[in-house]
Structure 1
Amino acid sequence: MTVFLILATMLVAGALLLVIPPMLGAGAKAREHAARQEQARTVLVVLREQLAELDAERAAGRIAEADYQRSRDEVEQRALAEGGTAEAGVDGAPARGWALGVVFAVPVLAVTVYMLLGTPAGLDPENLKPAPEAGHQITPEQMQAMVAQLAERLEREPDNVQGWMMLGRSYAVMQNFQGAVATWQKIGAQIPEQADILADWADLLAGAAGRKFEGDPDRLIVRALALDPNHVKALALSGTSAFRRGDYAQASAQWEKILASLQPGVEPYPSILASINEARTKGGLPLLSPPAGPQAAGMAGGGGAAEQGGAASTALTLRGRLSLAPELASKAGADDTIFVFARPAQGGMPIAALRIRAGELPVDFDFASAQRMSQGPLPAQIAIGARLSKGGSATASAGDLESQAVLAAPDAEGVSIVIDRVRK
């Protein structure tokens, strides 16, 4: 209450300081300035009207260009001259009576208005309670309206590359597959020939079809790879499409192209390697081994056993149960792919990874049969985490569902992992 009153008093005093001095000693200057301002406005009005008439005359062909320019100059000079003469005859008498009235009237009026329209009870500390935090997030309804407006705009601007990317990714985040399909059927034929856009919409349309790539998704992937043979997302989707139709050799080949562009110590190398070896296993092909040498030795997060706080057994037998939070159940499709990673507690390249179908949840997992991505002693503590890929790709992206990391020993049992958040 005290702070409010002090601030209110300061504001009133400040207002009076701005008003009273001109009324007491500088009234003449203030009125001179006001008169000049009024005259300036008059000049502008006159000038505008005269110029409008001249412009109309010239447009109608009733006045030559030379006459138009001469008349324009005369109008401007006459208006300026009239403005200059209006500065004479200014009254310089101070307004002391008004100043005295304002000094008393302003504080009284401020208090009266506050008592009538304000909240006097709010000055009492006993009545002050924290107000609930105002929501500033965009509501789902507002998001849907904005996406609909963007779709309508693309009907008029089909070559808007950024618009197509924003629209596709908005539909993906909102999981609005029905709206995406409707938009595609309406203006999809006009989609720009951009690999990023084609791959995003292939992913979106495949998701709308229950991760089935036959038809438009496969055609869009082919178009994207024709534009950019090394496009990572298009290669990932192409491999996923091949994997789903049972062409495991083709799936492995497409994913290996992605692997060739990555460093062994950089995410998402291990998840892609796990996908490749799953395809190779199903296709009866030899497994692809992780790189040997210093790079592979560093995949466990760097440092020797002593730096890890003591080495555990070289056998990774960690077991547990993976589940999905009920509030995210509607966001997961039965055929969505889940990657479960085991990595050093301090971060770094995963030690091993498992691949599971979302339709199997909840499910028990066991790293005893998982292929190691790095050799050597295991750290005493391992971080276990899971990610559900909405695009079926080993590359993490916005909209994926994921869990928090859980620390456990390499031979721990009964570890519980819950996928409970959406990746931003």
Structure 2
Amino acid sequence: MSVYLPFVVLAGLLVAAALLLVLPPLFGAGLQRRRRAIDVSADAGQAATALTVLREQLADLDADHAAGRIDADTYARSRDELERRALDEGEAASERVEAHPARSWAVAVAVSVPLLALGIYLVLGNPDGLDPQKVAGQQGFSREQVAEMVGGLADRLEKEPDNAEGWMMLARSYLVLEDFPKAAAAYERLSALRPDDADILADWADAVAAQHGSVSGPAELIVAKVLAVDPEHVKGLLLAGSAAFERKDYAAASAQWERILVRIPPQEEAASALRAGINEARAKGGLPPLAEAPAAPPMSQAVAAADGGLTLSGRLELAPALRERLGADDTVFVFVRGGAGGPPLAALRFKGSELPREFSFDGVPRMGGDGPLPSQVTLAARVSKSGEVNARAGDLEGRVDGLAPGANGVALVIDKVRE
């Protein structure tokens, strides 16, 4: 009873408030004559018919919902629509009738309205819905329903073996169901369709690691493919470090994870968590912990003291032969790196529709802190078809090497397609 008590109290208060609006006029001195009278018996018959139809439709709707033929959202929308239609029909059929005050009628209303409300709720409502224990697990699709839909997708893909998007959806669905062997098999099929996609290879390696409970072993062989496609792939480096840690090669684990750390701003929480993992590996390997602040560039990189910082500027263009490959919504990245490579020092981001355009790094926040700049930098641009920073096959690229950090008037042309 304690489960239903709050609802009963609230419902009682609402009914009492409604009666306070209805009863005083009935007990009053008299009612004004309405503008015209209608046939009360015909109106009552129409109302009864409307109520009967409404109840039948609601019963059918409840049956469809209980059988799982419609989901909860469709059920709620359909029920609201039926109630609205019944209200509209009642308003269209109702007319003002001639009436006189009757205390007996007022008493009948005061008694019957609460009972009628309770009866309608018991017939059309869902009393069990007030009990959390009875509705637990009924929101959305059940695990069995999801498994059935995933099975249908798997059957369809056997007839559509080249449907890469379908295989990706199937693999991710198996991950949600924690069916890691089937997820790994789906990613293997997907990787055959997109062999140079580092993201897919990394997800495949992750699924295989979950299947075997270890990154070292079969998963590590796939991780090697990830890094062969993209040596700086973040998830690939993370998995490679985990595999090395499992093999107790702590120096290798630290080295892989440090390649990720230099790409994360030091103030971010992810950097702190990764630094803790690196220091754990270094401690197990007998290595000193990392310094708290990012290390300054090596002394072999001459410091650019003649200028005021990174103010590189110029014009970004696309080679005419590649214009048909550029989409208006494609993401365009422009990076500045040290002449010896490594993580970006700064980056700009544009849309494909903005090309050609002028660019400048003057005032752009540095990604590696405010340490000294190298005397020479590399300027690179990439049109990312996926919208992600990591390079993929099919991206459009261009670069200029050997620039001073303060160079201006640089012509940067995107003229290559990444294989």
The normalised TM-score by structure 2 is 0.40
The normalised TM-score by structure 1 is 0.39
Point out the structure with max Rg over C-alpha: 1
